[in-house]
């Protein structure tokens, strides 16, 4: 399964939902939960990503369900919830792993120093564009709120 966890927690009969489950980090979370016995709903915007992770879990003896949903689309989240409830039961564990960034919502440097103030091509906090910041806020905050 390519995920080696240094402990074992008994999650038999627990249902875990992992948004962003098709990504690098959250696919590891999904696989670790499955190794501990949880039934895992792998939720991703891209069906191929969710399918790949769910298939790997199943090939290693775990229970997994691949679902597509957009964490900013309440209707798609409701549809995913209904399918999870029908297939596995109520959610016991939720990992809100879906998130992201936007090029117009991030600075060039994590820290700004006095010497940087004369650099014209450097994107600072004051150069951020509203649409970029809104995109980052929406997916990382609202996406978590709606999913929860």
pLDDT per residue over 51-97, tens digit each?
999 999 999 999 999 999 999 999 999 999 999 999 999 999 999 99
Q: What is the pLDDT of residues 22-40, one digit of tens each?
A: 999 999 999 999 999 999 9
Give the pLDDT confidence score for residue 123 in this predicted structure: 87
Domain boundaries, the chain: 1-98, 102-148
What's the first-to-final CA gap in the chain, in angstroms?
28
Q: Diameter of the chain by CA atoms?
A: 59
Spatial distance between the Cα atoms of 20 and 147, rounded to a whole number of angstroms: 11
| Residue 41: φ, ψ to 5° | -95, 115
Q: What token pair was written down for 63?
A: 């229970």
Count of Cβ atoms closer than 10 Å to residue 63 Cβ? 16
CATH value of 1-98 in 3.40.30.10, 3.40.50.2300, 3.40.50.720, 3.30.70.1230:
3.40.50.720
Q: What's this model's pTM, rounded to 2 decimal places? A: 0.89
Q: Quick one: how far is CA 119 from the chain centroid?
A: 36
């Amino acid at each position: 399964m390519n995920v080696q966890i240094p402990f074992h927690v008994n999650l038999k009969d627990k249902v875990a939902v992992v948004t962003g489950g098709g990504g690098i980090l959250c696919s590891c979370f999904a696989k670790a939960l499955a190794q501990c016995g949880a039934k895992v709903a792998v939720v991703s915007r891209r069906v191929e990503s969710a399918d790949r992770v769910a298939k790997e879990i199943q090939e290693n003896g775990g229970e997994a369900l691949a679902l597509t949903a957009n964490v900013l689309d309440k209707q798609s989240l409701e549809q995913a919830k209904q399918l999870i409830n029908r297939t596995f039961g109520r959610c016991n564990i939720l990992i809100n792993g879906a998130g992201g960034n936007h090029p117009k919502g991030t600075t060039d440097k994590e820290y700004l120093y006095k010497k940087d103030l004369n650099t014209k091509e450097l994107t600072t906090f004051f150069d951020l564009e509203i649409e970029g910041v809104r995109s980052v806020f929406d997916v990382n905050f609202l996406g978590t709120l709606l999913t929860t």
